[in-house]
Structures are given as structure tokens and as C-alpha cells.
Amino acid sequence: MAITPPENRLWWKEPLHGIETIWITVGFLWGLFMTGMMVYWHMTGEQNLSNEAYRVNPDTYAEKVEAAAAQYTVREDEQSGIPVVHPPAGSDVYMLARLWEWWPILELEKGKEYRLHLSSLDWLHGFSLQPTNINLQIHPNYEMVLTIKPEQTGDFGIICNEFCGIGHHTMLGKMIIVE
């Protein structure tokens, strides 16, 4: 019994009790089942983003973002003065992270597919699109590309969920989904 110490101090040489054998077998089988479920859920769960990552020079990436913003800006946000960019459906859309902002604001159409490009110009940042379940780490010198297809209209917040310095708590962005 486990309440008292074993009589034989070489307890690992003692034979297993029947209950112990059952629990070890149950634990092993449960571990196999859960490992199988991870593989199954990865293949059928549809929660995994189709993303790609490329090495990129931050200055070159910033030029691409600024060129796309200049081409597709429809207005400026009234509160922040950040440009609101409305690229055509099916196109590449660009957003960058830098201390302590997401730039520009993206305005996308519901039900249309886009290739979203994300990169950081300075530090590691987190891209968390609220209230959806899109959550990525955005590394400097890497361009993360993911295919998105918005299914709901409204304003979606983007927060940085990787600590990036003293202004981290103010690093908010926005994505607007329209009909």
C-alpha cells in the first residue's frame, strides 16, 4: 500500500499490483488515442492557417506596404489619421508592425479571398485578430503570408500579444470587413 513505505527498499524490483498494471495500460492507450486525435484534428479541423514565410529586408517590405497603401487608400481614419486601404478582392494586401502600431488599416470585402502579408520592421510582434482565432508571431526580417477569407462584416481589432516594449499596451490595429 502507498501509505506506508515499502518493506523492501528496492521498490522498483517489486512486482506490479494488478491495479497499477491496469492504470499504466489505460494511460498508455489514452496517450496513443490523443496522439492520433492530434493528427486527425490537424488534417480535418480547418483551424490551421495556410501560411508561408519568406526572408525579407525590412526596408524593402516597408516600400511594398507604402506602395500598396498609396495605390489603394480610400480615406484616413478619423481618430488616428492612419490610411484606410481597400485593395481589390483576390489581391495581395500588406500590413506592417512597428513600435507601437499596425499600419495601415485594411478594409476588405466579406466572402472574398485575400493574401495577407505581415512583417515587422523592428521587434518580434504578435498578430491577434479579435474576435477570430488568428494568432501569429510576426518576426522582423520575415514576411508571413496567409490566405484569409472574411466571413463576417464589422470592425476587427488587431492586438500585439508579444511584449514589444514600453508602449506594447497601445499597439492596436484595425481591419474593417464590408459587404
- Cβ–Cβ < 8 Å for 84, 107: yes
Helix (H) or strand (E) segment spanning residue 179: none
pTM value? 0.74
Given pLDDT bands bounded at 50, 70 and 90, which one contains residue 114?
very high
Q: What 3-state class would DSSP assign to 39?
A: helix
Q: What is the pLDDT of residues 64-100, one digit of tens each?
A: 999 999 999 999 998 889 999 999 999 999 999 998 9
Whose CA is closest to 107, among 91, 128, 119, 120? 91
**pLDDT beyond 60 at 1:** no
**pLDDT beyond 80 at 46:** no
- Cβ–Cβ < 8 Å for 144, 50: no
Phi, psi of 98, rounded to the nearest 5 degrees = -155, 165
CATH number of 51-178: 2.60.40.420
Strands 92-98 and 114-120: parallel
What's the pLDDT score for residue 2? 65
